[in-house]
Structures are given as structure tokens and as C-alpha cells.
Structure 1
């Protein structure tokens, strides 16, 4: 029997729109203490999260893997990764949540290999030198978030790209803690996500993705239900919807052009697909989203609730 895994922007909050370019900063106790240091498994539809433990310990769930880690360490949770945390009460450290696709776009411009770094769930051991390099970056992100000055999202994203560079260096040094605890199922889910990213515009059947992974379509769907709480087709459709939302908001392309770029046979078919999965037409979504952005990104989610 499948289970529903909650989808949040931040744990306990309603999920923000997947297309919204933004970031958030807080300290681990702010979110975890009210929940008795136990964050139950959930996902962020479009947000990558980076946590750095400066003290304390944690048991981390990343998809199907369970990992024990102690400070100092770094945890990377890409979008759509099922994750949960059980912290010891003395745990502290910064947490940054950012929209994954815009951050990947920035990373691809400066260092293309960072994209894969941001897509890989991982727990990494740190040392004193790592903390000395990373903490000023996190504190600078906090200042941008608190001040909210002009361009604070751009500045925050640039700082997070610098954090991603350090994560890539740690990977090169083999500092991941999960290598011995990583499950085969978690690896299969990552491979499926990579395949979806590469082919979602082609509207491949689930059987094609399953064949690429060396499993049957039924096995792939059961795997996604077990690890992600959704079907394999839901994963593919969610990727298409996210890209459609992003292009509707951030490009001047016509709906007909967007439909074609996403592999739909015609504009009408795209419109039916989009409305089925979002409850609104592409035109209504674009108008509402652009109004929300003009009124202020933080209110975008509220503006779209009534769209």
C-alpha cells in the first residue's frame, strides 16, 4: 500500500511554488526544536537544502538510506529527495533552502560539473579548515536573507554556488559518509531522476525508463512508491509541470512555443495536461504568477492559491 509523503517548502510549511526563484536561511534549532528534534520524512518539490552541523549528531534519512553523522558535517538534500532528521538536542548549525533549478542554471555557467553535485544526496565529513571556509559563506547568505536588499536573491544564489564548489572539492576527496550505508534502491532512484532530467521533453513511456535502469515498469513504479511515495509516471509528470511553470514565468515564449519545446503535439494538449496537474490553464497561471512576482516573491504562494 502506498503512502503519502508530505511535500513542504520548509518542514511544517505549505510548499511554495516550484517556479519561484528564492532562498531561505535559518539555524537548525529554529525548525527542529519545536518538533522535539525529530523531522519526519518529507520532500521539497523544487528546493535543494544544505545543512552544516557545527555541533551535535544526527540520523539522516536520504531516500532509502539511513546515515549516522556527527558534527562537523555537511548534508545536501536535492529537490524531490525524501529526507528526515533525528537530531540530538545539542545540535546546531546553519540551514539554507534554495530553488534548485535557478541555482543549477547559475552553477552551470561557472562550473558545469556543479550541477551533478547539487543533484546528489550526500552526507560529508568536515574538518576545522572546512568550517573556516564554509561558515563565512553561510553567514553571508544569512545577511543577504535578513536584509532583503535589492538583488539579495542573486547575491544569495552566488554565495550558494561558492558553497557548491566546496562540496565538489569534498567529493573529490572522498569525504562522503554514506558510501557504505547507501542502499541499492537509493542509487536506482538517483539514476531514474537523471534519466528523467535528460529525457522528460521526449515523453518516453515508463517502460523506456525502466529498460534504461534494467528493471520492469512494475518494479520501477513499486520502487518509486516505496522510496518517494509517488508513481514513476508522477515523477516524470512533475518534472514536466515544473519546467512548464518555469518557462511560463521566466521566458517571453508564447504558450504554443512552450508546448512545442516541452514535446507536446499541440497547444491544446499541453493546456489540458497543465490544467489537469495544476488546476489552472497556462494563461491563468502565467498571469497570476507575474502579478505575484510584481507584488513581491514572498507572497507568490498566496496569490496562486486562488488561481
Structure 2
């Protein structure tokens, strides 16, 4: 990480948006505990590793049951509902933002979830290594964060994410496929996320990625199991479900927010995709935590 040191110079450690929670460093306040149990839209990356025990999280309306060596990761803007406290559970939780991620010396493709799975299962050796690193990082951030060089904190962070990245892609595809098709699929997902409400055409996206539409179709089909158009629509409908459930936006307002000129067409598309009308999809909830 030596070549990155210029990035860290003059950066106070308390400006690093990294938090670790564990059995040794839990949320103590009842007010905080009650607040974090409310459904909320994540503003940072969230990772939880279960060292022992079992627990179920809800992410974007889907339940994920985790046990020993299982890891769940969530990305900014996903709707996250934490579970109530569970007895005999040993865990580590990690939260960090995009700015902290940008300080690391490499990228971590698993964080854009190209294989569309939010869980990782660590083997016993990886779990042991990760648990040790989590423990060290937890100790640093809990006790002497202001006395530790930023580079040291980020080195442990980099080590953790490297382990997760390797475990995510292990036995999935050969390296040469990763370097070509997977990298293009990751670029496709980034374009979808950054231009979601603009609703660019598939031709426009393909041109932006320097691909033919046929090549883009083949790559998206390989990794997502669907066409680029259907992938984009599914992503739009997932965002619509989030906003309907967790905001006070009307169906008409939501249609315009998502880039639809015709609210009626949006409603028909939503009904076709979800099997339910947008107006009755889910009861809205208070995200304030108050």
C-alpha cells in the first residue's frame, strides 16, 4: 500500500467512516438498539459475519438465514431490516462508506454483486483468518483509533475485503472469464445503477461499454440469467418497491421519479412484474426510527 500513502497524509482517523460491531462492542443504548431494528435505506456498505449461532436478516424484502461462517453483505440504497438480538450469537459487523472504499489500493468486484447473491460462505481456514483480522480491527477502532496510522487501519480493511472477494468468486468461473466478461458485466451493473432513472436504451448502454448489443446480451445472460432489458426493468421495479414501501411518495410521483412519462404505463408494468398493483403493494412504514 506504499504507493497510496499520499492519499492518507493529513487525513484524521476520525474522518474514516469505518465502524465495527461485535459481541465485545455492541450497540449499548436501548434507544439506539430500537432505532437500528427499524427498516431503513442503507447509506453505507454493511457486512456481517456469523462466528457461531444462527440469525435471519431481511434485505430488500428477502430473508437470509446465516449460521457459522456465513457472511451477508449489503450495499448502499438497499432496504435493510435487522433482526432482534439473538442469544448465544457471536458475530462481527462492518460498516464503511464509498469515500473510505476509495482510499483502498484495489477494487473489490464482489461489492457490485455480479452473481446476484448477497451471502458468502467461508471455509474454516478463511473464517479463522477473517475472525482474527476482525478482532484486530475492532480493537483498534474501539480503543486507540486516534493513535493508529490511517494506513494501518486501511491495511486491515483491505485484508478483510480481499478475503471476502476471493471467497465470493471461488470456484465460480476461470480467471480469463473474470478478466473479460465479468468485468464488462460489472460495468453494465454500474451503468444501470448510475443511470437508472434516466432509462437509457440498451443500444446506448452497449455503446457506452464499447460492446455490440449481441455481446452485451450474451454477457448479461451469462451472469444474470436474463436479457439486458429485463435486467434493467427488474432493477427499476425493485427500486419502485423500495420507495413504495419506505416512503410517502404517491404512485404518480414515483412514476415520474423513476423516469416514466406515463404513470399509467408504469402501473401496468409494475403489476405485470410484481403481480400486485403499485397502490396496494405494501403498507408504508416510518423509517425515522422515532
Q: Output the TM-score relative to the length of structure 2.
A: 0.53
Describe how 1:1-307 pairs up with structure 2 within 5 A: 21-27=16-22, 30-31=26-27, 34=30, 35=33, 39-45=37-43, 47-86=44-83, 88-103=86-101, 105-107=102-104, 109-110=105-106, 112=107, 114=108, 116-120=109-113, 122-145=118-141, 146-150=143-147, 152-173=149-170, 194-196=190-192, 206-208=198-200, 213-214=228-229, 221-227=236-242, 229=246
Q: Is the 8 A contact 1:51 1:94 kept in 2?
A: yes
Alignment match, 2:279: none
Instruction: Give the Cα–Cα distance (whole angstroms) in 2 for the partners of residues 158 and 127 of structure 1.
Output: 22
Instruction: Give structure 1 stretches of 5+ with no counterpart.
Output: 1-19, 176-189, 237-307
Offset, 1:150: 4.5
Instruction: Give the Cα–Cα distance (whole angstroms) in 1 for the partners of residues 165 and 21 of structure 2.
Output: 23
Offset, 1:232: 8.6
Instruction: Give the Cα–Cα distance (whole angstroms) in 1 for the partners of residues 87 and 234 of structure 2.
Output: 39
Q: Is the 8 A contact 2:54 2:67 kept in 1?
A: yes
Offset, 1:165: 0.9
Deviations, residues 99-135 of structure 1 (Å, cap 9, x unaligned): 23431x244x33x4x1x22233622223331222111
Alignment match, 1:249: none
Q: Is the 8 A contact 1:144 1:155 kept in 2?
A: no
Structure 2 vs 1, CA of residues 160 and 222 (structure 1 numbering), >3 Å: closer, same or farther?
same
Alignment match, 1:293: none
Offset, 1:64: 4.0
Q: Is the 8 A contact 1:57 1:69 kept in 2?
A: yes
Which structure would you say has the larger Rg?
A: 2
Structure 2 vs 1, CA of residues 222 and 72 (structure 1 numbering), >3 Å: closer, same or farther?
closer
SS of structure 2 residue aligned to 1:90? coil
Instruction: Give structure 2 stretches of 5+ with no counterpart.
Output: 1-14, 173-185, 206-227, 248-253, 260-290
Deviations, residues 71-114 of structure 1 (Å, cap 9, x unaligned): 222221222222223253221212121123431x244x33x4x1
**May I ask how many residue pairs the two structures share in their alignment?**
193
Offset, 1:33: 9.3
Q: Output the TM-score relative to the length of structure 1.
A: 0.51
SS of structure 1 residue aligned to 2:77? coil
Alignment match, 2:7: none
SS of structure 2 residue aligned to 1:66? strand
Instruction: Give the Cα–Cα distance (whole angstroms) in 2 for the partners of residues 130 and 218 of structure 1.
Output: 37
Instruction: Give the Cα–Cα distance (whole angstroms) in 2 for the partners of residues 32 and 210 of structure 1.
Output: 49
Deviations, residues 255-292 of structure 1 (Å, cap 9, x unaligned): xxxxxxxxxxxxxxxxxxxxxxxxxxxxxxxxxxxxxx
SS of structure 2 residue aligned to 1:208? coil
Q: Is the 8 A contact 1:78 1:100 kept in 2?
A: no
SS of structure 1 residue aligned to 2:27? helix
Q: Is the 8 A contact 1:74 1:124 kept in 2?
A: yes
